[in-house]
Chain A
Amino acid sequence: MKKILIVDDEQDIVESLKFVLEAADFICYCAYNGEDGLKLAKDIMPDLIILDVMMPKINGYKISRLLKYDNKYKNIPILMITARSQEEDKLIGEETGADEYITKPFDLEDVVKTVKKYLG
């Protein structure tokens, strides 16, 4: 079974993503801040990461950059969740390497479909 890491400081959103992804037969690992997320990513080597942009400690863009510039992790697909906020707009000019962007509020079915596109 494929492993998915969900990193978001919003527990409710993590919960709902975990629910639908587990129902679709994926194993989900969860982290609630950037620091834990990055650590967990290196520990468990997930097959895909769902990453929120605005998070305490290390933001999603930074995690994405750190992983995508590391040969060991660069092939892990990253789905970035964005709220299209202005702070994000300021950051978005930078190269993050994320594979997909999902705008809040997203459709859970779409997320599952996108995940399956990479792990199908």
Chain B
Amino acid sequence: MGKILFVSNRLEKIQQYAGIFDKKPYEFFTASDENSALETVDINNPDIIIFDSDFNNLKHLLKNLKSMTTSTSFILLVKDEKIEYDITKYINVFLTDEMSETLISSIISANLKTKHSLEQLSDTNKNLADSLYRLNVLYSTSSQFAGSLDKEKLVDYMIEGLDKSLSFDLTCTLAFCTEKEPVLLLNSLYEISDELLSALKLRTVLNYKSLFEDKNPPFEIDIDTLKIVKTVKYPANRFTFTLFQYDNMFAPISLGDNFFGCIEIFKETPFTSDDATCFQTIAQQVSLPLKSATLYQEIKETNLKLEKLERLKSEFISIVSHELRTPLTAIKNSLDILSGGKCGEINDSGQKFLSMAQRNVQRLAGIINDLLDLSKIEAGKMDYHFANMDIHSVIDYVKSSLSVVAKEKGLNLISEETPDLPEIYADSQRLEQVLTNLVSNAIKFTPEGKTIIIRSHLADASQLNAPNCFKNDINKLSGKYIVVGVEDQGIGIAEKDLLRAFDKFAQIENSLSRKVGGSGLGLPIAKQLLQAHNGAIWCDSELNKGSRFYFAIPVSTVGAEAEKNLILN
């Protein structure tokens, strides 16, 4: 099919061409003056115009027509070879008077085919450009989705994306995510009257309820109190009820069991299937970030609760520390005054009970100190004073401070140290605390007449040997370590209980620690202190034969580096 206009003053040619083209599949028009040519083009928009080169003032006509048509093919019928150059630039194809009708027919037919192909190509290009634009919108919308955890913004991005890709006239979004109560977001091209607004509200709520059929909707909506947020682009114009004759699409915004709302969109011109896909894609895409945003909000709330709990814990520890210590001090002082005989002689039996009271006051003080230490370590508030130091000084201090207690119990406390051990970078007070705890435990659990040995040696991490349950801790170590061991000949620990010895919760339950005194928090604290030193603590034991507790502290590299720097300087 093709429309052909033949412009000529030569009657014989008009007749000849009418003979060829005034039949199907062609529509044939003729013009013998400029005005009728222009009029035909204006009304019929021909695919091809054939100009006779003899036509009066042809150049002028060509110029006029070129500005009226963009895709029409111009063909020139040439009488002889004398053609004005100015004319040829408007022409796509040439015919001559001498050409046979068959040839003319095939040339025109080929030309029409080419023209149709070009038109198709141009349509395809246009579609591709549309798709590309839509893809760009989808891409930028999903980038926006990915970059936000704010539910209100996410819904805004969704509406913005829909506007860009579908150019809607109106959207009604029922959102359950922005606040505790649902909100109806109306994004409209024109102003909405109160009557129309009521109708839209009702329609949206019915749509919402229809999503859940027999089931109860997740949220109850009171249509009278439903909050409305209206955004109007051109408030000078108004929508009427003809809006409901517009094409529309509706989709829920949900992910699995999580329901965030629903959206309906209206447009005067019909939506295509591509529009529907795009709409569904955006409505679905927003659900995942909305879910993430919900989770994020929950995490934030949980964190706030945890922070509050942490504060309460700190306050509690503070109370434990201050409010318990003060009365304890008064009790201790009174007992000390009494047992010192400063208020008169106390008989042996009285002295026994006074000592019992004093021992338990001491024990209570120890428990309070341990609780405070543990809470400080866990809160990361423990103060450490690291410095290069010699492990011998720690061993000497603990040995001398506990030798009296050991002697009182008839125990032999000795040390077997490796001389000239390299320095370690540590907090001496904390290491004294660890070693004091280990030796005190040994004293507690070892029967009279036996020996407790404190040993020290240098070892490579690969040489350290510990029962399987401590392998994880040991395997983390690398390089050189100073290892301090406390060996006793006490009651020992069953293999299954070795790890439990360092567990703060298990120990509080332990009846043994109750029998011999102490909070049972000493070893868990020691473990944390060693971790802060990048070291490790472990034990090895045989029931009724004795236990061996070890801790390892990395050899200092600080001193060596400082020395190197000194030489370099």
Contacts and interface: CB of A to CB of B under 8 A. Distances in A.
A84 B317 CA distance: 10
A113 B327 CA distance: 22
Contact of B342 (A13, A20, A88, A104): A20
The interface size bin for chain A is 20 to 34
B317 A86 contact: yes
Nearest to A10: B326
Contact of A105 (B315, B317, B365): B365
Interface in B259-275: none
A24 B315 CA distance: 39
Contacts of A114: none
Interface in B348-380: 361, 365, 372
Given A88-B322, A105-B361, 7 more contacts: A23-B342, A83-B326, A105-B325, A105-B333, A106-B332, A107-B332, A108-B333
A80 to B, nearest CB: 14
A10 B361 CA distance: 18
Interface in B298-356: 314-315, 317-318, 321-322, 325-334, 336-337, 342
Interface in A78-96: 83-89
A85 B333 CA distance: 20
B336 A107 contact: yes
A12 interface: yes
B321 A108 contact: no
A16 B331 CA distance: 10
19 contacts: A10-B326, A10-B330, A12-B327, A13-B326, A16-B330, A16-B334, A20-B333, A23-B342, A54-B322, A83-B322, A84-B325, A86-B314, A86-B318, A86-B321, A104-B325, A105-B329, A105-B331, A105-B361, A107-B336
Top 10 A-B residue pairs of the complex, sorted by shortest distance between their CB atoms: A16-B333, A12-B330, A85-B322, A104-B325, A86-B318, A105-B329, A83-B322, A83-B325, A104-B329, A85-B321
**Residue of B314, B322, B328 with highest tally of chain A CB at under 10 A:** B322
Contacts of A89: 381
A14 B331 CA distance: 12
Contacts of B336: 16, 107-109
A83 to B, nearest CB: 4
A86 B323 CA distance: 12
Interface in A1-39: 10, 12-13, 16-17, 19-20, 23
DSSP class of A's interface residues: helix, strand, loop or mixed? helix
B546 to A, nearest CB: 33
A13 B325 contact: no
Contacts of B315: 86
Given A16-B334, A23-B342, A106 B321 contact: no
Interface of B, helix, strand, loop or mixed by DSSP? helix
Nearest to B334: A16
Nearest to A81: B329
A16 B381 CA distance: 34
Nearest to B362: A105
A107 to B, nearest CB: 7
A12 B336 CA distance: 13
A84 B372 contact: yes
B318 A13 contact: no
A106 B328 CA distance: 9
A47 B331 CA distance: 27
Contacts of B314: 86
Contacts of B365: 105
Contacts of B334: 12, 16
Nearest to A11: B330
Q: Tell which of A13, A83, A89 has the most Cβ of chain B within 10 Å.
A: A83
B307 to A, nearest CB: 16
Contact of A108 (B318, B328, B337, B361): B337
Contact of A13 (B321, B322, B333, B372): B333
A29 B371 CA distance: 35
Contacts of B381: 89
Contacts of B342: 19-20, 23
B336 to A, nearest CB: 5
A84 B328 contact: no
Contact of B337 (A16, A83, A85, A104): A16
Contacts of B317: 86
Given A16-B337, A20-B337, A108-B336, A84 B329 contact: no
B329 A106 contact: yes
A17 B333 contact: yes
A67 to B, nearest CB: 23
A109 B336 CA distance: 9
Nearest to A14: B330
A23 B342 CA distance: 9
Interface in B411-464: none
A10 B403 CA distance: 36
Contacts of A12: 327, 330, 333-334
Given A13-B326, A20-B342, A83-B326, A105 B321 contact: no
Contacts of B325: 83-84, 104-105
Q: Report which residue of B329, B342, B372 has the largest number of chain A beta carbons within 10 angstroms of its beta carbon.
A: B329
A106 B362 CA distance: 10
Contacts of A54: 322
A84 B321 contact: yes
Contacts of A17: 333
Contacts of B330: 10, 12-13, 16
Given A16-B333, A16-B337, A23-B342, A104 B318 contact: no
Nearest to B315: A86
Nearest to A8: B326
A107 B478 CA distance: 44
Nearest to A17: B333
Contacts of A86: 314-315, 317-318, 321
Given A16-B337, A19-B342, A105 B318 contact: no
Contacts of A106: 329, 332
A105 B328 CA distance: 6
A20 B339 CA distance: 13
A12 B322 CA distance: 15
Contacts of A105: 325, 328-329, 331-333, 361, 365
